[in-house]
């Protein structure tokens, strides 16, 4: 989780596209091992949104919302995705 999250933080500072790819890769690996890790799903939602993959981003968001509908980041990401 932290590797993926820190990749997003570093991307915001450098705009290095490879950091987003790395973050997605690490987040998806964690998702395979722990599919109910809500913070990872939320982070993957944002990483896929930044990457431009809105379909995958929406899928990750719905998985996170199903597990924890009251998480404060879910409403914010829904607004960013126009849902």
Q: What would the pLDDT profile of 6-55 be if each residue is shown by its tens digit?
A: 788 787 777 777 888 999 999 999 999 999 999 999 999 999 999 999 99
- The per-residue pLDDT for 31 is 96
Q: What is the pLDDT of residue 35?
A: 96
Tell me the residue length of the chain.
83
Predicted confidence at residue 25, as pLDDT, reads 94
What per-residue confidence (pLDDT) applies to 53? 94
Query: Is 80 exceeded by the pLDDT of residue 65?
Result: yes
Got the DSSP string for 34-57? -TT-HHHHHHHHHHHHHHT-HHHH
Q: Per residue in 50-62, is it b (16+ CB within 10 Å) or e — as a string?
A: bbeeeebbbebbe
């Amino acid at each position: 989780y932290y590797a993926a999250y820190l990749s997003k933080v570093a991307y915001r500072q450098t705009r290095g596209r490879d950091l987003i790819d790395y973050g997605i890769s690490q987040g998806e690996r964690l998702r395979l091992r722990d599919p109910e890790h809500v913070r990872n799903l939320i982070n993957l939602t944002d990483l896929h949104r930044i990457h431009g993959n809105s379909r995958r981003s929406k899928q990750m968001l719905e998985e996170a919302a199903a597990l924890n509908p009251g998480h404060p980041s879910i409403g914010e990401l829904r607004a960013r995705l126009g849902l």
